[in-house]
Chain A
């Protein structure tokens, strides 16, 4: 049972922003409600109003935008999973969306809601880091764009101002010759660890590497030191030495103790899964698909 609230259904971003400005913390933005309704039910949050953003025009759009892929904030994970534009430009994202939470959450939960709630255990927030993601925040006063890493600042903490609405996220597709993978591991409803990697290969050597690790700490992170190691490596080098990169990632990652495991455990799993993800990506760069299976692991 939920405590009573009013339900606003603004027709424009300006109206929505106005309501938020007036009601402050007594109002909560509402799209799919997959996180919001749970914390309301738990009594962890009390609000007087919900501001439904699903009727705001254009927010569910998924389209190309000046070489980028634009995903509207109210696009559901399910929509992203099936969208031809996502498959064409950022296919890894479509595949990751297919594995978010469970099918019921994917039917209803939105990309914008996922990013704005900033749950540390977010698959999308992790993989989006590999695509130079930028979120658009809109309010009565105007709009601004923030890099995802500047938007998600801590666990459940974003730099969204009270009267702002996250309206879209923009992603930069990878250059040709890039192969990627997302590997997630966990026994619980939310993953214990999510590793996203991408290798850009040209002339037989790695020209660019991207590694992001999520779920183990306050927010997902790119690991620049580990990425740098791979520069100039051949694919054979990657397969032989992925362990070293895993070890460097484990040393660099910011991990916290929680009910998923100790920080030490998570660092160790980071070492293991960065290596595994790199092997999958390297295999794909060579035109091979990995069929390795590991317990409680999803290879995307």
Chain B
């Protein structure tokens, strides 16, 4: 699954960048993502991802690693985890790019992910669309945090 989105906010690139770097707070903008916490500053974080599709619930403790930083603009992270009871592994790569735009800034989100295991095969048609919805909602919540 692959999702690309552009999000325009009225705040400055510096403000946007600062919010992104509050990684637990940024990650918590993703629906279903809770208990986000720092393990090693600017390097390792943990979060819990819960998603539900109809009767099926996915519950994944995620390890998040910042893999690339190019201040002031670009941040790449990888998130991995496994739902033992479903036998499903989740692996995502996300790149976030901040650029000035008009009087504010634009955040570009590029997310690529896989769900491995039975859920990945059976849920294939649902996953892309759900990922798009999640990233869209992430954008809405992040915008509220950044502009608020």
Contacts and interface: CB of A to CB of B under 8 A. Distances in A.
B87 A120 contact: no
B148 interface: no
B116 to A, nearest CB: 14
A44 B125 contact: no
A66 B125 CA distance: 39
A43 B53 contact: no
Contact of B86 (A44, A157, A158): A44
Contact of B125 (A45, A117, A256): A256
B89 interface: no
A155 B53 contact: yes
Contacts of A257: 124-125, 128
Contacts, number: 51
Given A43-B85, A44-B86, A156 B53 contact: yes
A218 interface: yes
Interface string B99-137: 000000000000000000011011011101100000000
A133 B122 CA distance: 28
A260 B118 contact: no
Contact of B119 (A28, A44, A155, A158): A44
B128 to A, nearest CB: 6
A44 B54 CA distance: 11
Given A43-B86, A44-B86, A44-B118, A258 B125 contact: yes
B126 A155 contact: yes
A218 B54 contact: no
B122 A42 contact: yes
A46 B85 CA distance: 9
A258 B115 CA distance: 13
A67 B128 CA distance: 42
Contact of B56 (A44, A158, A218, A259): A44
Nearest to B121: A259
A258 B124 contact: yes
Interface residues of B, number: 17
B127 to A, nearest CB: 9
A289 to B, nearest CB: 34
A12 B81 CA distance: 43
B55 A156 contact: yes
Contacts of A43: 85-87, 118
Contact of A157 (B53, B122, B125): B53
B86 to A, nearest CB: 6
Interface in B64-121: 85-87, 118-119, 121
A135 interface: no
A118 interface: yes
21 contacts: A25-B57, A28-B55, A42-B118, A42-B122, A44-B56, A45-B56, A118-B54, A120-B125, A155-B53, A155-B126, A156-B55, A156-B56, A157-B53, A158-B54, A218-B126, A256-B125, A256-B128, A257-B124, A257-B128, A259-B121, A260-B125
Interface of B: 53-57, 85-87, 118-119, 121-122, 124-126, 128-129
